[in-house]
Chain A
Amino acid sequence: MRILVAEDDTALASFVKKGLESEHYAVDVSADGEQARAMAGELDFDLVVLDLNLPRLDGVAILRFLRTRKPSMPILVLTGRNRVEDRVLCLDLGADDYLGKPFSFTELSARIRALMRRSHMPAESVLTVDDLKLDRVERRVERAGRRIELTSKEFCLLEYLMRNAGRRITRAMIIEHVWNLSFDTCTNVVDVYVNYLRRKVDDGCARHLIHTIRGVGYELSAHSQNNPPTAGSPEL
Protein backbone atom coordinates (compact mmCIF):
# COMPACT_ATOMS: atom_id res chain seq x y z
CA MET A 1 0.00 0.00 0.00
CA ARG A 2 1.47 3.32 -1.01
CA ILE A 3 0.65 6.49 0.90
CA LEU A 4 1.52 10.12 0.17
CA VAL A 5 1.99 12.31 3.23
CA ALA A 6 1.74 16.01 2.28
CA GLU A 7 2.96 17.81 5.38
CA ASP A 8 5.34 20.77 5.70
CA ASP A 9 6.23 20.19 9.34
CA THR A 10 9.31 18.06 8.71
CA ALA A 11 9.48 16.61 12.20
CA LEU A 12 5.83 15.56 12.11
CA ALA A 13 6.15 14.24 8.56
CA SER A 14 9.18 12.20 9.55
CA PHE A 15 7.35 10.79 12.58
CA VAL A 16 4.29 9.84 10.51
CA LYS A 17 6.47 8.35 7.76
CA LYS A 18 8.45 6.20 10.17
CA GLY A 19 5.29 5.06 11.94
CA LEU A 20 3.52 4.10 8.72
CA GLU A 21 6.63 2.40 7.35
CA SER A 22 6.83 0.34 10.52
CA GLU A 23 3.32 -0.82 9.61
CA HIS A 24 4.70 -1.85 6.21
CA TYR A 25 3.18 0.90 4.11
CA ALA A 26 5.32 2.45 1.37
CA VAL A 27 5.40 6.17 2.19
CA ASP A 28 6.36 9.26 0.20
CA VAL A 29 6.51 12.68 1.81
CA SER A 30 6.08 16.09 0.24
CA ALA A 31 6.47 19.35 2.15
CA ASP A 32 5.38 21.57 -0.71
CA GLY A 33 1.86 22.07 -2.04
CA GLU A 34 2.76 22.27 -5.73
CA GLN A 35 4.90 19.17 -5.48
CA ALA A 36 2.26 17.30 -3.49
CA ARG A 37 -0.39 18.10 -6.10
CA ALA A 38 1.90 16.91 -8.90
CA MET A 39 2.81 13.71 -7.06
CA ALA A 40 -0.77 12.88 -6.09
CA GLY A 41 -2.00 13.66 -9.59
CA GLU A 42 0.66 11.78 -11.54
CA LEU A 43 1.67 8.88 -9.33
CA ASP A 44 -0.38 5.98 -8.16
CA PHE A 45 -1.09 6.28 -4.42
CA ASP A 46 -3.60 4.26 -2.44
CA LEU A 47 -4.25 7.09 0.02
CA VAL A 48 -3.21 10.70 0.64
CA VAL A 49 -2.66 12.24 4.08
CA LEU A 50 -3.01 15.96 3.43
CA ASP A 51 -2.09 18.90 5.64
CA LEU A 52 -4.15 21.99 4.81
CA ASN A 53 -1.39 24.52 5.44
CA LEU A 54 1.20 23.80 2.78
CA PRO A 55 3.53 26.34 1.21
CA ARG A 56 3.03 27.41 -2.44
CA LEU A 57 -0.36 25.70 -2.76
CA ASP A 58 -2.68 25.08 0.15
CA GLY A 59 -4.36 21.80 0.96
CA VAL A 60 -7.84 23.04 -0.01
CA ALA A 61 -6.67 23.66 -3.58
CA ILE A 62 -5.07 20.21 -3.67
CA LEU A 63 -8.27 18.68 -2.32
CA ARG A 64 -10.34 20.36 -5.05
CA PHE A 65 -7.85 19.26 -7.70
CA LEU A 66 -7.75 15.64 -6.53
CA ARG A 67 -11.50 15.33 -6.28
CA THR A 68 -11.72 16.30 -9.95
CA ARG A 69 -8.82 14.15 -11.11
CA LYS A 70 -9.09 11.15 -8.80
CA PRO A 71 -12.54 11.07 -7.25
CA SER A 72 -12.11 7.66 -5.62
CA MET A 73 -8.74 8.28 -3.97
CA PRO A 74 -9.09 8.26 -0.17
CA ILE A 75 -7.92 11.55 1.37
CA LEU A 76 -7.37 12.11 5.06
CA VAL A 77 -6.97 15.76 6.01
CA LEU A 78 -4.68 16.82 8.86
CA THR A 79 -4.95 20.32 10.17
CA GLY A 80 -4.49 22.55 13.14
CA ARG A 81 -7.77 24.33 12.33
CA ASN A 82 -10.18 22.58 14.63
CA ARG A 83 -13.30 24.72 14.25
CA VAL A 84 -16.47 22.95 13.18
CA GLU A 85 -16.79 25.10 10.04
CA ASP A 86 -13.27 24.13 8.97
CA ARG A 87 -14.09 20.46 9.33
CA VAL A 88 -17.36 20.89 7.43
CA LEU A 89 -15.56 22.75 4.65
CA CYS A 90 -12.99 19.95 4.28
CA LEU A 91 -15.58 17.21 4.19
CA ASP A 92 -17.75 19.19 1.77
CA LEU A 93 -14.77 19.66 -0.50
CA GLY A 94 -14.34 15.90 -0.66
CA ALA A 95 -12.06 14.85 2.20
CA ASP A 96 -12.91 11.36 3.35
CA ASP A 97 -11.84 11.99 6.91
CA TYR A 98 -10.44 14.72 9.08
CA LEU A 99 -7.96 14.59 11.95
CA GLY A 100 -7.16 17.67 14.04
CA LYS A 101 -3.70 18.35 15.43
CA PRO A 102 -2.46 17.28 17.85
CA PHE A 103 -3.29 13.66 17.16
CA SER A 104 -1.97 10.31 18.24
CA PHE A 105 -0.28 8.08 15.73
CA THR A 106 -2.46 5.15 16.81
CA GLU A 107 -5.56 7.11 15.85
CA LEU A 108 -4.08 8.20 12.53
CA SER A 109 -3.17 4.60 11.76
CA ALA A 110 -6.66 3.36 12.67
CA ARG A 111 -8.30 6.03 10.51
CA ILE A 112 -6.08 5.06 7.57
CA ARG A 113 -7.11 1.44 7.98
CA ALA A 114 -10.76 2.49 8.13
CA LEU A 115 -10.41 4.60 4.98
CA MET A 116 -8.73 1.77 3.12
CA ARG A 117 -11.52 -0.51 4.24
CA ARG A 118 -14.13 1.87 2.87
CA SER A 119 -12.28 2.48 -0.38
CA HIS A 120 -12.23 0.04 -3.27
CA MET A 121 -9.29 -1.82 -1.78
CA PRO A 122 -10.00 -4.22 1.04
CA ALA A 123 -7.95 -3.29 4.11
CA GLU A 124 -9.29 -5.56 6.78
CA SER A 125 -6.63 -7.00 8.99
CA VAL A 126 -7.22 -10.55 7.70
CA LEU A 127 -7.23 -11.14 3.94
CA THR A 128 -8.53 -14.40 2.53
CA VAL A 129 -8.31 -15.79 -0.98
CA ASP A 130 -9.48 -19.36 -1.36
CA ASP A 131 -7.71 -21.30 1.44
CA LEU A 132 -4.92 -18.72 1.77
CA LYS A 133 -5.17 -16.42 4.77
CA LEU A 134 -2.97 -13.42 5.63
CA ASP A 135 -3.23 -11.64 8.97
CA ARG A 136 -1.68 -8.16 8.81
CA VAL A 137 -1.75 -7.59 12.53
CA GLU A 138 -0.37 -10.96 13.59
CA ARG A 139 1.98 -11.02 10.57
CA ARG A 140 0.86 -14.55 9.96
CA VAL A 141 0.15 -16.44 6.73
CA GLU A 142 -1.60 -19.80 6.45
CA ARG A 143 -2.64 -21.98 3.56
CA ALA A 144 -5.22 -24.65 4.34
CA GLY A 145 -4.29 -24.31 8.01
CA ARG A 146 -0.55 -24.79 7.32
CA ARG A 147 1.64 -21.94 8.61
CA ILE A 148 3.85 -20.29 5.97
CA GLU A 149 6.98 -18.40 7.06
CA LEU A 150 7.67 -15.34 4.93
CA THR A 151 10.34 -12.65 4.98
CA SER A 152 9.14 -9.09 5.47
CA LYS A 153 9.32 -8.32 1.74
CA GLU A 154 7.61 -11.56 0.76
CA PHE A 155 4.82 -10.70 3.20
CA CYS A 156 4.38 -7.24 1.65
CA LEU A 157 4.32 -8.73 -1.84
CA LEU A 158 1.75 -11.36 -0.90
CA GLU A 159 -0.40 -8.72 0.80
CA TYR A 160 -0.33 -6.54 -2.31
CA LEU A 161 -1.25 -9.48 -4.55
CA MET A 162 -4.05 -10.53 -2.19
CA ARG A 163 -5.47 -7.02 -1.96
CA ASN A 164 -5.63 -7.06 -5.73
CA ALA A 165 -6.81 -10.64 -6.05
CA GLY A 166 -8.33 -11.33 -9.44
CA ARG A 167 -6.59 -8.33 -11.03
CA ARG A 168 -3.64 -8.41 -13.38
CA ILE A 169 -0.69 -6.71 -11.73
CA THR A 170 2.29 -5.52 -13.75
CA ARG A 171 5.90 -5.72 -12.57
CA ALA A 172 6.01 -1.91 -12.59
CA MET A 173 3.02 -1.78 -10.21
CA ILE A 174 4.71 -4.26 -7.89
CA ILE A 175 8.04 -2.44 -7.84
CA GLU A 176 6.19 0.80 -7.13
CA HIS A 177 3.86 -0.43 -4.39
CA VAL A 178 6.00 -3.04 -2.68
CA TRP A 179 9.52 -1.64 -3.07
CA ASN A 180 8.47 2.02 -3.27
CA LEU A 181 10.81 2.43 -6.22
CA SER A 182 9.72 4.07 -9.42
CA PHE A 183 11.68 1.90 -11.78
CA ASP A 184 13.29 -1.48 -12.14
CA THR A 185 15.79 -1.68 -14.93
CA CYS A 186 17.27 -5.10 -15.33
CA THR A 187 17.30 -6.77 -11.94
CA ASN A 188 14.71 -9.49 -11.94
CA VAL A 189 13.80 -8.75 -8.35
CA VAL A 190 10.03 -9.01 -8.84
CA ASP A 191 10.22 -12.32 -10.70
CA VAL A 192 12.64 -13.78 -8.15
CA TYR A 193 10.43 -12.79 -5.22
CA VAL A 194 7.28 -14.06 -6.92
CA ASN A 195 9.02 -17.39 -7.56
CA TYR A 196 10.07 -17.62 -3.89
CA LEU A 197 6.54 -16.78 -2.85
CA ARG A 198 5.06 -19.28 -5.27
CA ARG A 199 7.23 -22.04 -3.83
CA LYS A 200 6.08 -21.25 -0.32
CA VAL A 201 2.41 -20.68 -1.15
CA ASP A 202 1.64 -23.04 -4.02
CA ASP A 203 4.08 -25.94 -3.83
CA GLY A 204 2.32 -29.08 -2.73
CA CYS A 205 -1.14 -27.62 -3.32
CA ALA A 206 -3.42 -28.94 -6.04
CA ARG A 207 -4.81 -25.47 -6.70
CA HIS A 208 -2.22 -22.85 -7.64
CA LEU A 209 -3.03 -19.26 -6.69
CA ILE A 210 -0.17 -17.22 -8.16
CA HIS A 211 -0.31 -17.07 -11.93
CA THR A 212 2.06 -15.54 -14.46
CA ILE A 213 0.24 -13.44 -17.03
CA ARG A 214 2.41 -13.52 -20.11
CA GLY A 215 3.46 -10.07 -21.27
CA VAL A 216 1.76 -8.41 -18.30
CA GLY A 217 2.92 -9.64 -14.90
CA TYR A 218 1.09 -11.65 -12.27
CA GLU A 219 -2.31 -12.37 -10.85
CA LEU A 220 -3.30 -14.00 -7.60
CA SER A 221 -6.52 -15.85 -8.07
CA ALA A 222 -8.14 -19.17 -7.28
CA HIS A 223 -9.52 -19.22 -10.81
CA SER A 224 -7.41 -19.86 -13.86
CA GLN A 225 -7.39 -22.17 -16.85
CA ASN A 226 -5.69 -24.76 -14.67
CA ASN A 227 -7.91 -24.07 -11.67
CA PRO A 228 -11.52 -24.08 -12.84
CA PRO A 229 -13.96 -22.57 -10.35
CA THR A 230 -15.45 -25.14 -8.05
CA ALA A 231 -18.83 -25.06 -6.41
CA GLY A 232 -18.61 -22.97 -3.28
CA SER A 233 -15.31 -21.27 -4.12
CA PRO A 234 -15.55 -17.56 -3.35
CA GLU A 235 -15.96 -15.02 -6.11
CA LEU A 236 -12.95 -12.71 -6.32
Chain B
Amino acid sequence: MKVITTGSPAPALAYDSRQLISDLFHQLSQPVTSLCCSLELARLQTSTLKQYAEIVSRTLSEAQKVSWLVTALRELFNASQAGEDCEVLELRQAIGHAVDDLRPVAESAGVQVHYLALSACPIWFDPKRLRQGLFHLLGFMLGSRGPGAELTIALDRRGAQSVLSLTVSGTEKCGDAANGGPDPEHLPRELLRRFELGLARTIFDAGGADFSVERGPEGISAEARFRRTGSHRDQSL
Protein backbone atom coordinates (compact mmCIF):
# COMPACT_ATOMS: atom_id res chain seq x y z
CA MET B 1 0.00 0.00 0.00
CA LYS B 2 1.32 3.46 -0.82
CA VAL B 3 -0.05 6.89 -0.29
CA ILE B 4 1.37 9.75 -2.28
CA THR B 5 0.33 13.15 -1.11
CA THR B 6 1.42 16.23 -2.98
CA GLY B 7 0.71 19.91 -2.64
CA SER B 8 -0.73 21.22 0.57
CA PRO B 9 -1.26 18.88 3.50
CA ALA B 10 -4.39 16.84 2.95
CA PRO B 11 -5.74 15.49 6.20
CA ALA B 12 -8.84 14.06 4.52
CA LEU B 13 -6.66 11.75 2.44
CA ALA B 14 -4.06 10.80 5.00
CA TYR B 15 -4.77 7.16 5.53
CA ASP B 16 -3.46 4.94 8.23
CA SER B 17 -5.63 1.98 9.06
CA ARG B 18 -4.64 2.04 12.72
CA GLN B 19 -5.46 5.74 12.94
CA LEU B 20 -8.81 5.20 11.23
CA ILE B 21 -9.72 2.35 13.59
CA SER B 22 -8.59 4.41 16.54
CA ASP B 23 -10.77 7.31 15.39
CA LEU B 24 -13.76 5.00 14.97
CA PHE B 25 -13.25 3.66 18.50
CA HIS B 26 -12.94 7.19 19.76
CA GLN B 27 -16.27 8.04 18.12
CA LEU B 28 -17.72 4.91 19.68
CA SER B 29 -16.76 5.95 23.19
CA GLN B 30 -18.86 9.11 22.94
CA PRO B 31 -22.35 7.58 22.49
CA VAL B 32 -21.54 4.73 24.90
CA THR B 33 -20.63 7.26 27.60
CA SER B 34 -23.67 9.31 26.80
CA LEU B 35 -25.90 6.24 26.98
CA CYS B 36 -24.50 5.17 30.36
CA CYS B 37 -24.83 8.65 31.85
CA SER B 38 -28.32 9.36 30.61
CA LEU B 39 -29.59 5.95 31.75
CA GLU B 40 -27.96 6.32 35.18
CA LEU B 41 -29.58 9.73 35.57
CA ALA B 42 -32.93 8.38 34.40
CA ARG B 43 -32.76 5.70 37.07
CA LEU B 44 -32.03 8.28 39.80
CA GLN B 45 -34.72 10.77 38.81
CA THR B 46 -38.46 10.51 38.65
CA SER B 47 -39.37 11.51 35.14
CA THR B 48 -42.54 12.87 33.68
CA LEU B 49 -43.96 11.20 30.61
CA LYS B 50 -42.52 13.97 28.43
CA GLN B 51 -39.06 13.61 30.00
CA TYR B 52 -39.28 9.86 29.62
CA ALA B 53 -40.10 10.23 25.91
CA GLU B 54 -37.07 12.52 25.50
CA ILE B 55 -34.80 10.01 27.22
CA VAL B 56 -36.05 7.19 24.99
CA SER B 57 -35.58 9.32 21.87
CA ARG B 58 -32.03 10.35 22.89
CA THR B 59 -31.15 6.79 23.86
CA LEU B 60 -32.35 5.48 20.52
CA SER B 61 -30.33 8.08 18.66
CA GLU B 62 -27.14 7.19 20.59
CA ALA B 63 -27.79 3.46 20.16
CA GLN B 64 -28.11 3.98 16.40
CA LYS B 65 -24.76 5.74 16.37
CA VAL B 66 -23.21 2.81 18.27
CA SER B 67 -24.79 0.40 15.82
CA TRP B 68 -23.42 2.30 12.81
CA LEU B 69 -19.90 2.45 14.27
CA VAL B 70 -19.84 -1.23 15.23
CA THR B 71 -20.99 -2.13 11.72
CA ALA B 72 -18.29 0.13 10.29
CA LEU B 73 -15.58 -1.61 12.33
CA ARG B 74 -16.89 -5.02 11.27
CA GLU B 75 -16.89 -3.92 7.63
CA LEU B 76 -13.32 -2.76 7.90
CA PHE B 77 -12.32 -6.10 9.39
CA ASN B 78 -14.21 -8.03 6.68
CA ALA B 79 -12.63 -5.87 4.00
CA SER B 80 -9.17 -6.83 5.23
CA GLN B 81 -9.84 -10.53 4.59
CA ALA B 82 -8.84 -11.70 1.12
CA GLY B 83 -11.81 -12.68 -1.05
CA GLU B 84 -12.23 -16.44 -1.31
CA ASP B 85 -13.93 -16.68 -4.67
CA CYS B 86 -11.43 -15.08 -7.02
CA GLU B 87 -11.97 -15.55 -10.71
CA VAL B 88 -11.06 -13.86 -13.96
CA LEU B 89 -13.30 -10.80 -14.29
CA GLU B 90 -13.70 -8.15 -16.94
CA LEU B 91 -12.87 -4.91 -15.16
CA ARG B 92 -14.34 -2.81 -17.98
CA GLN B 93 -17.74 -4.39 -17.41
CA ALA B 94 -17.54 -4.20 -13.60
CA ILE B 95 -16.74 -0.49 -13.74
CA GLY B 96 -19.50 0.05 -16.29
CA HIS B 97 -22.00 -1.45 -13.85
CA ALA B 98 -20.66 0.57 -10.92
CA VAL B 99 -20.78 3.79 -12.95
CA ASP B 100 -24.35 3.04 -14.05
CA ASP B 101 -25.33 2.35 -10.44
CA LEU B 102 -23.88 5.60 -9.17
CA ARG B 103 -24.71 7.83 -12.15
CA PRO B 104 -27.90 9.15 -10.47
CA VAL B 105 -25.81 9.99 -7.40
CA ALA B 106 -23.35 11.88 -9.61
CA GLU B 107 -26.22 13.70 -11.33
CA SER B 108 -27.76 14.72 -8.02
CA ALA B 109 -24.36 15.98 -6.84
CA GLY B 110 -23.81 17.90 -10.09
CA VAL B 111 -20.70 15.87 -10.96
CA GLN B 112 -20.14 14.88 -14.59
CA VAL B 113 -18.75 11.39 -15.11
CA HIS B 114 -16.58 10.46 -18.11
CA TYR B 115 -15.70 6.81 -18.48
CA LEU B 116 -13.16 5.74 -21.05
CA ALA B 117 -12.24 2.08 -21.52
CA LEU B 118 -10.20 1.40 -24.62
CA SER B 119 -9.67 -2.29 -24.35
CA ALA B 120 -10.79 -5.34 -22.44
CA CYS B 121 -9.09 -5.53 -19.05
CA PRO B 122 -9.32 -8.96 -17.42
CA ILE B 123 -8.34 -9.12 -13.76
CA TRP B 124 -8.11 -11.77 -11.05
CA PHE B 125 -10.39 -10.75 -8.19
CA ASP B 126 -13.35 -11.77 -6.06
CA PRO B 127 -16.43 -10.36 -7.87
CA LYS B 128 -18.32 -9.29 -4.77
CA ARG B 129 -15.27 -7.63 -3.26
CA LEU B 130 -14.56 -5.85 -6.51
CA ARG B 131 -18.09 -4.49 -6.61
CA GLN B 132 -17.81 -3.29 -3.01
CA GLY B 133 -14.38 -1.73 -3.60
CA LEU B 134 -15.51 0.11 -6.73
CA PHE B 135 -18.70 1.31 -5.02
CA HIS B 136 -16.76 2.80 -2.11
CA LEU B 137 -14.03 4.27 -4.32
CA LEU B 138 -16.52 5.93 -6.67
CA GLY B 139 -18.59 7.03 -3.67
CA PHE B 140 -15.50 8.66 -2.17
CA MET B 141 -14.55 10.41 -5.41
CA LEU B 142 -18.11 11.67 -6.01
CA GLY B 143 -18.40 12.89 -2.43
CA SER B 144 -15.12 14.80 -2.57
CA ARG B 145 -16.11 17.55 -4.96
CA GLY B 146 -19.06 19.86 -5.34
CA PRO B 147 -21.35 20.76 -8.26
CA GLY B 148 -19.60 21.40 -11.57
CA ALA B 149 -16.87 18.84 -10.86
CA GLU B 150 -15.80 16.24 -13.39
CA LEU B 151 -14.88 12.64 -12.63
CA THR B 152 -12.81 10.93 -15.30
CA ILE B 153 -12.40 7.18 -15.18
CA ALA B 154 -9.94 5.44 -17.47
CA LEU B 155 -8.86 1.85 -17.92
CA ASP B 156 -5.68 0.64 -19.48
CA ARG B 157 -3.50 -2.45 -19.77
CA ARG B 158 0.11 -2.07 -18.71
CA GLY B 159 2.24 -5.19 -18.87
CA ALA B 160 0.72 -7.85 -16.64
CA GLN B 161 -1.58 -5.36 -14.97
CA SER B 162 -4.92 -3.73 -15.65
CA VAL B 163 -4.84 -0.16 -14.45
CA LEU B 164 -7.85 1.81 -13.27
CA SER B 165 -7.31 5.57 -13.01
CA LEU B 166 -9.77 8.07 -11.58
CA THR B 167 -9.42 11.82 -11.43
CA VAL B 168 -11.92 14.20 -9.95
CA SER B 169 -11.47 17.91 -10.53
CA GLY B 170 -13.46 20.88 -9.34
CA THR B 171 -14.19 22.72 -6.15
CA GLU B 172 -13.52 20.77 -3.00
CA LYS B 173 -16.39 20.28 -0.64
CA CYS B 174 -15.66 21.72 2.73
CA GLY B 175 -17.36 21.55 6.07
CA ASP B 176 -19.74 18.93 7.32
CA ALA B 177 -22.88 20.42 5.86
CA ALA B 178 -21.56 20.73 2.31
CA ASN B 179 -21.59 17.04 1.51
CA GLY B 180 -24.78 16.06 -0.22
CA GLY B 181 -24.97 12.51 1.11
CA PRO B 182 -26.82 11.26 4.16
CA ASP B 183 -25.33 11.88 7.54
CA PRO B 184 -25.23 8.54 9.32
CA GLU B 185 -26.02 9.31 12.93
CA HIS B 186 -24.42 12.78 12.70
CA LEU B 187 -20.86 11.54 12.45
CA PRO B 188 -18.13 13.90 11.22
CA ARG B 189 -18.07 14.06 7.41
CA GLU B 190 -14.30 13.98 7.28
CA LEU B 191 -14.32 10.67 9.18
CA LEU B 192 -16.95 9.24 6.84
CA ARG B 193 -14.92 10.22 3.76
CA ARG B 194 -11.79 8.65 5.24
CA PHE B 195 -13.78 5.57 6.09
CA GLU B 196 -15.16 5.27 2.54
CA LEU B 197 -11.65 5.56 1.09
CA GLY B 198 -10.28 3.26 3.79
CA LEU B 199 -12.78 0.54 2.91
CA ALA B 200 -11.97 0.75 -0.80
CA ARG B 201 -8.23 0.68 -0.13
CA THR B 202 -8.49 -2.22 2.31
CA ILE B 203 -10.52 -4.27 -0.16
CA PHE B 204 -8.10 -3.62 -3.03
CA ASP B 205 -5.06 -4.27 -0.83
CA ALA B 206 -6.50 -7.54 0.46
CA GLY B 207 -7.15 -8.63 -3.12
CA GLY B 208 -3.54 -8.00 -4.14
CA ALA B 209 -4.06 -4.75 -6.08
CA ASP B 210 -1.72 -1.78 -5.71
CA PHE B 211 -3.71 1.27 -4.72
CA SER B 212 -2.58 4.86 -4.48
CA VAL B 213 -4.23 8.24 -4.02
CA GLU B 214 -2.81 11.62 -4.80
CA ARG B 215 -4.21 15.01 -4.03
CA GLY B 216 -3.04 18.04 -5.95
CA PRO B 217 -4.24 21.58 -6.54
CA GLU B 218 -6.46 20.46 -9.42
CA GLY B 219 -8.20 17.64 -7.67
CA ILE B 220 -7.83 14.06 -6.46
CA SER B 221 -6.39 11.18 -8.44
CA ALA B 222 -6.62 7.51 -7.53
CA GLU B 223 -5.05 4.54 -9.25
CA ALA B 224 -5.59 0.82 -8.72
CA ARG B 225 -3.35 -1.71 -10.46
CA PHE B 226 -4.87 -5.15 -10.65
CA ARG B 227 -3.22 -8.46 -11.52
CA ARG B 228 -4.50 -9.75 -14.81
CA THR B 229 -4.30 -13.39 -13.72
CA GLY B 230 -3.99 -15.25 -10.44
CA SER B 231 -0.92 -17.13 -9.33
CA HIS B 232 -0.97 -20.92 -9.57
CA ARG B 233 -1.60 -21.02 -5.85
CA ASP B 234 -4.58 -18.67 -6.14
CA GLN B 235 -6.06 -20.56 -9.02
CA SER B 236 -5.85 -23.88 -7.23
CA LEU B 237 -7.89 -22.55 -4.32
Tell whether A and B belong to one assembly.
yes
B199 and A181 form a contact (CB under 8 A): no
> Could you tell me the distance between the alpha carbons of A180 and B97 in the complex, rounded to whole angstroms?
13
Tell me if A153 counts as interface (CB < 8 A to partner B): yes
A192 and B105 form a contact (CB under 8 A): yes
> Which chain A residues lie closer than 8 Å to B139 at the CB level?
184-187, 189
User: Taking the nearest CB of chain A, how far is it from the CB of B84, in angstroms?
Assistant: 8
- The A/B interface has a contact count, at CB < 8 Å, of 71
> Which chain A residues lie closer than 8 Å to B207 at the CB level?
none
A183 and B101 form a contact (CB under 8 A): no
Tell me if B128 counts as interface (CB < 8 A to partner A): yes
> Could you tell me the distance between the alpha carbons of A153 and B107 in the complex, rounded to whole angstroms?
16
> Could you tell me the distance between the alpha carbons of A233 and B78 in the complex, rounded to whole angstroms?
46
Interface residues on B, range: 20 to 34
B131 and A171 form a contact (CB under 8 A): no
Given A29-B85, A181-B135, answer yes or no on A186-B192 (Cβ-Cβ < 8 Å). Answer: yes
B184 and A186 form a contact (CB under 8 A): yes
> Which chain B residues lie closer than 8 Å to A171 at the CB level?
182
User: Taking the nearest CB of chain A, how far is it from the CB of B231, in angstroms?
Assistant: 17
Partner of B143, one of A10, A182, A186: A186
B182 and A188 form a contact (CB under 8 A): yes
> Which chain A residues lie closer than 8 Å to B107 at the CB level?
192
In the complex, what residue of chain A is closest to B199 when comparing beta carbons?
A185
User: Taking the nearest CB of chain A, how far is it from the CB of B151, in angstroms?
Assistant: 13
> Which chain B residues lie closer than 8 Å to A192 at the CB level?
104-105, 107-108
Tell me if B196 counts as interface (CB < 8 A to partner A): yes
> Which chain B residues lie closer than 8 Å to A65 at the CB level?
none
B78 and A189 form a contact (CB under 8 A): no
Tell me if B145 counts as interface (CB < 8 A to partner A): no
> Could you tell me the distance between the alpha carbons of A185 and B139 in the complex, rounded to whole angstroms?
8
Given A28-B128, A181-B132, answer yes or no on A188-B105 (Cβ-Cβ < 8 Å). Answer: yes
In the complex, what residue of chain B is closest to A153 when comparing beta carbons?
B101
> Could you tell me the distance between the alpha carbons of A16 and B136 in the complex, rounded to whole angstroms?
27
In the complex, what residue of chain B is closest to A193 when comparing beta carbons?
B104
Tell me if B102 counts as interface (CB < 8 A to partner A): yes
User: Taking the nearest CB of chain A, how far is it from the CB of B110, in angstroms?
Assistant: 12
Tell me if B75 counts as interface (CB < 8 A to partner A): yes
B131 and A181 form a contact (CB under 8 A): yes
Residue picked from A14, A151, A171, A182, most chain B C-beta under 10 Å: A182
Tell me if B161 counts as interface (CB < 8 A to partner A): no
User: Taking the nearest CB of chain B, how far is it from the CB of A198, in angstroms?
Assistant: 12
Tell me if B22 counts as interface (CB < 8 A to partner A): no
Map CB proximity to B onto A218-229 as digits: 1 under 8 Å, 0 otherwise.
000000000000
A183 and B75 form a contact (CB under 8 A): yes
Partner of A187, one of B78, B181, B189: B181
Map CB proximity to A onto B145-188 as digits: 1 under 8 Å, 0 otherwise.
00000000000000000000000000000000001111110000
B136 and A182 form a contact (CB under 8 A): no
Tell me if B193 counts as interface (CB < 8 A to partner A): yes
In the complex, what residue of chain B is closest to A28 when comparing beta carbons?
B128
Map CB proximity to B onto A175-207 as digits: 1 under 8 Å, 0 otherwise.
000011111111111011101100000000000
User: Taking the nearest CB of chain B, how far is it from the CB of A30, in angstroms?
Assistant: 9
> Could you tell me the distance between the alpha carbons of A10 and B108 in the complex, rounded to whole angstroms?
40
> Which chain B residues lie closer than 8 Å to A29 at the CB level?
85
The 10 closest A-B pairs by CB, nearest first: A187-B139, A188-B181, A186-B192, A186-B181, A185-B196, A183-B75, A192-B104, A192-B108, A188-B182, A192-B105
Chain B interface residues (CB < 8 Å from chain A): 71-72, 75, 78, 84-85, 87, 100-102, 104-105, 107-108, 128, 131-132, 135-136, 139, 142-143, 179-184, 189, 192-193, 195-196, 199
Chain A interface residues (CB < 8 Å from chain B): 10, 14, 28-29, 31, 151, 153, 171, 179-189, 191-193, 195-196
30 pairs across A/B with beta carbons < 8 Å? A10-B85, A14-B87, A28-B128, A31-B84, A31-B85, A153-B100, A153-B101, A180-B128, A180-B131, A182-B75, A183-B72, A183-B75, A184-B139, A185-B136, A185-B139, A185-B184, A186-B143, A186-B182, A186-B193, A186-B195, A187-B105, A187-B135, A187-B139, A188-B180, A188-B181, A188-B182, A189-B105, A191-B182, A192-B107, A195-B108
